[in-house]
Structure 1
């Protein structure tokens, strides 16, 4: 599973972003002798100061809209935690935020359990203090947290009489300084709006996928299910389950349904405007690009006063439009503004 090979780097971004990783290595090697004399030392100290200014420069704020649609029960769940630094006091230099959407099926218990417990597990496993290879450690932390949450729910579900058969997708966004880590399983999605300058000189919003869909019709997913002894009929596991990875769904775990998420990393830049996290209820009636352009147009038209008011209005209108277009499923949309 390729962690970081699928997202393009920001184009024409400032040198402070490109040079951040080498600078971190320089910080860890403080005992190294200076080779360039006083001038190099002054430049290095200036870079350190600029680096400290850059930390925490990105501000993320989440807005949510939820619609039950034509379903009898709201089985989606969501979490908005724009500031985790209070909970992770051992990492004072890292600005952490966490947003997540969970699309339940067969009931709301798996999605609610994941909403209540996944971030708590993530915080407890998060690397403490100054560490090397932070990307690798964050990936491991996310993988372990998903596995632990799934195991804990399945243990609780199997102890019930009768046993719970609920399951849930999950799409989670973890922000560490100006880097986004997105972990997802199932068919909920995360997409980023990035502004790119065209040859004409005008700026155009570009949609970048931050997640990967998991359903049994995908070749790799189908092969894993079949190797485990399961079958795929009518695009579903055993002709029933629409996703090939999930939290819960204990009766399908023996058929190759797993709780291992795909994890992607995205370096933010001043060109980035917002992220949409949403369950498949939105994407049944919107393409990712349509959803991004729908939100961008509302943010641009200026009909709502105040930046937060614009984002709130865009989020609510997007969810309502999904229902208007005929989506009968639950619809949950999280719109995350990005400010430098």
Structure 2
């Protein structure tokens, strides 16, 4: 198992002197390791600590800009610290990891991601009739060497892309760790997305590519939606599930279904409910 994750539903007390306009912080993250579990484990243990130390404090004017800078700086520092540790080992560690992090600042989501783990949002939209339809919104961007801009950066750095992989080996074009590929254009700069939440939003699925190899984003959202709407009954006890128990059951079923569909990879899934 080379995946790691972190769930911090209430980070508020961890940041000293929060900006006056911020009343609540939460953090959720998924890390999919390759070449070993050390990079994913390191990132899961350290990224949020760095984020807490760099989060804007006191009176600030441009909170949005500062939060984005904080995320970018935290990813860079986490990567640098892991690479320093990895290169000091004998033999040097070659582990790498994707990272998809969700930072909730009151009713705004900030998603920072590297690699191919993903975040998707379920939003209910009014249809022309009386009902509502489920809409799936991508909150992250995949980074693999077959994407034009990613391939160009790798080639400009002197690397090559063969069989859809960096140097014919690495499947992602951005990551934490992977020291031997950093000179070939593999970077640790995440993509950033900002999403204003609304009462129409229901939940976010945060998962590694193990889930998305056998589920499209739309399928995964509809699968969870159906379980939540059916107010699922626990198969073992026969009791009706509500609140956190219902979300936990939906999360477990989604991961189990990915395995049942033949996913041979690690499957890590976080399901975050959105309530107004």
Under a length normalisation based on structure 1, what TM-score does the superposition of the two structures give? Answer: 0.78
Aligned to 2:259: 323
Tell me by how many angstroms 1:136 deviates: 0.7
- Is the partner of 2:46 in helix, strand or coil? helix
Question: Is the 2:16–2:57 contact (alpha carbons within 8 Å) kept by the matching residues of 1?
Answer: no
Unaligned runs of 5+ in 2: 234-240
Tell me by how many angstroms 1:225 deviates: 0.1
- Is the partner of 1:128 in helix, strand or coil? coil
Q: Which residue of 244, 252, 260 maps to 2:173? A: 244
Aligned to 1:81: 8
Tell me by how many angstroms 1:186 deviates: 0.1
- Is the partner of 2:174 in helix, strand or coil? coil
Aligned to 1:10: none
Q: Deviations over 1:82-131 (max 9, x none)?
A: 00011013116430000000000000000000000000000101110121
- Residues 93-242 of structure 1 mapped to structure 2, 5 A cutoff: 93-242=22-171
Q: Deviations over 1:262-316 (max 9, x none)?
A: 0000000000000000000000000000000000000011223212221111000
The 2-side partners of 1:254 and 1:303 are apart by: 50
The 1-side partners of 2:231 and 2:43 are apart by: 37
Q: Which residue of 75, 90, 98 maps to 2:17? A: 90
Q: Deviations over 1:21-79 (max 9, x none)?
A: xxxxxxxxxxxxxxxxxxxxxxxxxxxxxxxxxxxxxxxxxxxxxxxxxxxxx100000
The 1-side partners of 2:90 and 2:230 are apart by: 54
- Is the partner of 2:268 in helix, strand or coil? strand
The 2-side partners of 1:222 and 1:230 are apart by: 9
Larger radius of gyration: 1
Tell me by how many angstroms 1:201 deviates: 2.2
- Is the partner of 1:273 in helix, strand or coil? strand
Aligned to 1:310: 246
Tell me by how many angstroms 1:132 deviates: 1.1
Q: Which residue of 208, 214, 224 maps to 1:285? A: 214
In angstroms, what is the RMSD of aligned CA positions? Answer: 0.8
Moved over 2 A (4+): none
Q: Deviations over 1:141-163 (max 9, x none)?
A: 10000000000000000000000
- Is the partner of 1:97 in helix, strand or coil? strand
Aligned to 2:236: none
Query: Which one scores higher on RCO, CA 8 angstroms, separation ≥ 6?
Result: 1
- Is the partner of 1:331 in helix, strand or coil? coil
Greater Cα offset, 161-170 or 88-97:
88-97
Aligned to 2:238: none
Aligned to 1:26: none
